[in-house]
A and B are shown apart, each in its own frame.
Chain A
Amino acid sequence: MLKINNLHAAVEDREILRGIDLEVRAGEVHAIMGPNGSGKSTLASVLAGSEKYTVTEGSVEFLGRDLLTLPIEDRARMGLFLGFQYPVEIPGVTMANFMKLAVNEQRRFRGEAPLSAAEFLRLMREKSKVVELDAKLTSRAVNEGFSGGEKKKNEIFQMAMLDPKLAILDETDSGLDIDALRIVATGVTKLHTAENATVVITHYQRLLDYIVPDVVHVLYQGRIIYTGDRTLALKLEKEGYDWLINDYKE
């Protein structure tokens, strides 16, 4: 589904991604871990098409297409979803209006008729249950005044609404209380099927108790320096990164 080949990306003149190789297949769950500042969010942003970064080398294939040449919205319409580490507030734009436009734009891309107002409301009601999102939030402006936890729930609610092929969830677990973590993680698990794939970026093992990863990667200084199975996350939780990154320290 996703094939990243020797990806390098820079912001201004600073190289942040320095040769990433990663392959994600349908049905898989990958976890990406790594110390602060190692480039996890940058990787997610570059895949989503953020204009802040320049790809200087490498290629990315998504569902058989050259991802890097596609505009941001087409990547999304093809089924690439990014759960933001820091969801953005959009004053004056209600969640409902925002989602209606997003859902219908994605449907149009797939050649499907737009949802009627009633169908859309039904979908919204159904999907807000996935993460037990307070119905009142959908009539409020996007993320504006949402608590940290509500913002993260809202990301997964949007994921549920858009039903992506590949979801990259950037620290969706941070800022959630214990119950919210369980609800959100269970929600993500419910959305996972054999046809889609999930990449979770996280610092903590506890999320991975719910969303069981097939593969765990450690990103450090813009490279994946180690890949293991789910037990790697447990080991990292206990021992930290030192044993892995000592050789790489500059």
Chain B
Amino acid sequence: MELHEIIRSLRPIGEEPLRIVAPGKMPGTASGCFPGSAPARGVSECILPESPASECETLGAIDPLQVRIVAGAGTSVRLAVLHTQPMATHIELVAEEGASIALTEIFTAGAAAELSIRQAASSRTHLTLVELAGAEVHCTTDLAGGAARCEQQALLLVGGEEQGLLTLRTNHLVPDCTSRAQVRGVAGGRATGTFRGLVYVAPDAQRTDAGQQCRNVLLSDTAHIDAQPQLEIYADDVQCTHGATVGLLDRDAIFYMRQRGIDERQARQLQLTGFVSELLQGCSPEPLCDALTAAVGERLKML
């Protein structure tokens, strides 16, 4: 199945802000669910069906202008958002205490997207972000409660004359949080990919554990990738790693594959697919992940 078919088949994310409520809990009143600015319209509440922890609801949207979702304390939700239009979009996610949110966000056109994530204590988020075309994505994550953890995987594929931009800002505002970001970029043709990463650690956010890695492959002499992971650390007891590499396809690996009878085009393809596939492993649900892997494979052929 195609990506858009799969996402269309999911339970839709409406226009209104949505609050996910744990099963067995009485829905609260509509107002006051969101920290910060009050929503313009009413908040719809979504009560999750009773289900085993491993199976959670998946919601989907195609080309939303705005998505605002609060995962109430202890809830789990999976989201899939597909952007097919070059338009501006804003996604805001809040994970309350112990909540877990997995978001797969895919761009097939040059959209401009703002993504803000706020996490309370012991919450988890897992983000899989894939730019199949040169989009502009700014993602900010606030780890605002102890023992919150975020995991982010981003893939930037640009070709032709495209320009892709990704900024990932992770703010460790309180002690004991963990963040991991893995970014992979592939640029062909005359395209440009830009990655700006920033891990900010607030003055008393001790025992922060943060990692940001960005690896890139250039497919032509005229392609560019500019990768800048940065750290801004104001606490002293922290563990932060970051790094960025930009390279070409491994000629030795291509020789090795061709020596086994695989032609050059397929060898390049296999290597590129390998390079990006590691990144897609955490994505869910499975049919979406399969369709995404296929779409990525198709895209790689054209770079």
Contact = CB atoms under 8 A, between A and B. Distances in A.
Best-surrounded residue of B253, B261, B278 (most CB of chain A within 10 A):
B261
Contacts of A91: 274-275, 278
Contact of B261 (A87, A89, A93, A105): A105
Interface string B214-257: 00000000000000000000000000000000000011110111
Interface stretch (A70-78, A190-198, A225-233): A70-78
A30 to B, nearest CB: 19
Contact of A141 (B251, B262, B274): B274
Interface string A39-51: 0000000001111
B270 A72 contact: no
Dominant secondary structure of chain B at its interface with chain A: helix
A162 B261 CA distance: 9
Nearest to A158: B260
B258 A73 contact: yes
B266 to A, nearest CB: 7
A87 B274 contact: no
A224 interface: no
B263 A105 contact: yes
A101 B273 contact: no
B274 A92 contact: yes
A73 B262 contact: yes
A15 B271 CA distance: 32
Interface in A58-111: 71-73, 75-77, 81-82, 84, 87-93, 97-99, 101-102, 105-106, 109
Nearest to A50: B255
Contact of A101 (B250, B252, B264, B266): B266
A228 to B, nearest CB: 30
B258 A98 contact: no
A77 B260 CA distance: 7
Contact of A88 (B252, B261, B266, B273): B252
Given A90-B270, A90-B274, A93-B271, A102 B252 contact: no
Nearest to B277: A92
A156 to B, nearest CB: 13
Interface of B: 250-253, 255-264, 266, 270-271, 273-278
Interface of A: 48-51, 71-73, 75-77, 81-82, 84, 87-93, 97-99, 101-102, 105-106, 109, 141, 158, 162
Q: 7 closest Cβ contacts across the A-B interface?
A: A92-B274, A93-B274, A102-B260, A72-B258, A88-B256, A76-B261, A106-B261
